[in-house]
A and B are shown apart, each in its own frame.
Chain A
């Protein structure tokens, strides 16, 4: 069987398609984006057999997937870890309402915050929702996980969290694909009342969910993603979750001396854990992300027999992603001699592309504000324009989470700050900024909202923006005064004119919206290349 070289995200997507996926919904976010990119490029979507859509945000993605599952189809919503916060409401409640067709929620965590605001571990949501979870250890398991998860989801009638982390999502590996399964027909749930979470019904459903936890633990214990590898030396037992298992094998070699329990399915396989903790003198827990398993094993007060070591005990770093070196150090394994790091390389932080329209918007802001008060007045958001925080721009003062620029500016304005400026991207605005604008309109908040519309979701590679060039109409529809919905083109040639517009709108008492529209230079370039290729094709 020939192998394919796929990213963990692509392997997961191929696995879902081969396992009879009918519908995939997602909001792009690093490191999860390639799951849906792969599905969108697939022959299954081209042939009209599978629906795949970028949605306005993660909440609407998950709700659509729940709806497809309700209708009997196998469905998946994909997102990055912080996207799960946005989708937390449907996530937690879908565990109670349950699934009809298999329902997967694929979430890619980003430990070390390569492209994120935090390194939260999605497994913590398991405690909140009581949902089962599969955590693949490598690309082959990422391929196999959806089939197992869909089957589990339909058998226990619950959604399943599929957790990956950056180094699996964004690493390629050779995989072998397996059999394909037909897609489910349309079929409504036999017991549709469980989808009505009225308190009187939800209490029963929730009690059943709690009762079934032991069944889910047994599922984890017999899961193909859980493995117990015996070793003769019981002075140490290793418990390794997901890709951490790979790091352990990488440094200990093929025939391990100590017993290793690989955890790839949750809830935690208790009896297997007890076998390790009951027979080994010391336990090392190796997991990517939070010390989720380790904290549970340590307990309160912290147990001392056997001692539980890991990120909390200091044997592994408390924050940041794992590395083979960190795991080798935790196991006390000597490595090869390391060359001295060179002192020559200077940091090379990411930057806006030369010619990026966001650079012009940032310059407009700094010119209009001149000498700014300490603490700053420019509330910004999540996107390429967040790089406006760095030199040479130094144009923004905050970036907290999706949509917060508008509502933080509103709160600060009400608290007495003037000017209070919001800088938000087109897609971030449609993701979580529109409701904030509605609040601004209803309260006549004295804020100036700049929506930088580059006509795409640029940071994640140029997915279509839900705004679809309708921002002025959306803002007017939300009640913004049309006289104070201004359109500008951020370009060096328009600098003076644009600065004047911003100054006028700062002076306006009440909410203003400035739509700064110019296409992302990356997508413009790609479009130009594609057009050129097409013309060349016609010429032939």
Chain B
């Protein structure tokens, strides 16, 4: 068991919560976990990414080596493309299709999606729509957790348990919404 995951998104999308839930699920299974994240100035509406690694043996580097990521899991489609050099030859790209166009020169959306479709293994998910269906726009990150789940190598029950642990302080309604979002993402990816 050894997984390298690149998480990609934009400041404010809940990427670090996504990383924390996957990390907690892996930790709960007794795996070793390393997860590099971005804080400070870089977070202000800019690019946010996290390198997440878990294994049943010691992990020595906090960063994923290029060409070795099993999965790029993205909350924003252009951000998914930024990390292609990290992807392993048999790696998967799973991304939300909803752009965050907070920059003047955001590329043509169709062009972005076409570029993702060129990847051997890819999944495109309308995360905001499924999050609204689950009951909260902020739950798009958990939709993407569900969509990425088949590629994470972690049991569904462990991921749901990690959602419960992560949102424990926010009450059962929040846990339920996020669990629903997870399941909708999981079902959508098929």
- CA of A325 to CA of B87, assembled, Å: 13
> Which residues 340-356 of A have a CB within 8 angstroms of B?
340-342, 344-353
**Given A31-B40, A167-B62, are A339 and B67 neighbors across the interface (CB < 8 Å)?**
yes
Interface of A is mostly: loop
- Residues of A near B41 (CB, < 8 A) are 30, 114-115, 350, 387, 459
> Which residues 31-66 of B have a CB within 8 angstroms of A?
31-47, 51, 58-66
**Which has the most chain B C-beta neighbours within 10 Å: A4, A172, A246?**
A172
Assess whether A213 is interfacial by the CB under 8 Å rule: no
- CA of A248 to CA of B85, assembled, Å: 21
Q: Assess whether B62 is in contact with A173, with CB atoms less than 8 Å apart.
A: yes
Q: Assess whether B82 is in contact with A387, with CB atoms less than 8 Å apart.
A: no
Q: Which of A3, A5, A30, A167 contacts B63 (CB 8 A)?
A: A167
Say how far A320's CB is from chain B's closest CB, in angstroms. Answer: 13
**Which has the most chain A C-beta neighbours within 10 Å: B40, B51, B63, B115?**
B40
- Residues of B near A339 (CB, < 8 A) are 67, 84-85, 87, 89
Q: Assess whether A350 is in contact with B11, with CB atoms less than 8 Å apart.
A: yes
Assess whether B6 is interfacial by the CB under 8 Å rule: no
Assess whether B164 is interfacial by the CB under 8 Å rule: no
- CA of A246 to CA of B58, assembled, Å: 10
**Given A325-B66, A345-B81, A460-B40, are A350 and B45 neighbors across the interface (CB < 8 Å)?**
yes
Assess whether A25 is interfacial by the CB under 8 Å rule: no
Q: Which of B32, B103, B107 contacts A174 (CB 8 A)?
A: B32
Say how far A95's CB is from chain B's closest CB, in angstroms. Answer: 29
Assess whether A243 is interfacial by the CB under 8 Å rule: yes
**Given A30-B40, A115-B42, A387-B44, are A168 and B62 neighbors across the interface (CB < 8 Å)?**
yes
Write the chain B residue with the least CB distance to A347: B103
- CA of A34 to CA of B37, assembled, Å: 13
**Given A33-B39, A173-B34, A336-B68, are A346 and B88 neighbors across the interface (CB < 8 Å)?**
no
- Residues of B near A139 (CB, < 8 A) are 34
Q: Assess whether A325 is in contact with B65, with CB atoms less than 8 Å apart.
A: yes
> Which residues 93-121 of B have a CB within 8 angstroms of A?
102-103, 105-107, 111-112, 115
> Which residues of B pack against A, CB within 8 Å?
10-11, 20, 23-24, 27, 30-47, 51, 58-68, 78-79, 81-82, 84-85, 87-89, 102-103, 105-107, 111-112, 115
Chain A to chain B contacts (Cβ below 8 Å), 27 pairs: A3-B30, A30-B39, A114-B40, A115-B39, A115-B42, A171-B34, A172-B23, A172-B35, A173-B34, A173-B59, A173-B62, A243-B62, A250-B65, A251-B65, A336-B89, A338-B67, A342-B84, A344-B78, A345-B78, A348-B46, A348-B78, A349-B103, A350-B11, A387-B41, A387-B44, A459-B41, A461-B39
Given contacts A459-B40, A461-B39, 11 further A-B contacts (CB under 8 A): A30-B39, A114-B41, A139-B34, A171-B37, A172-B37, A325-B65, A337-B67, A341-B84, A348-B45, A349-B46, A349-B103
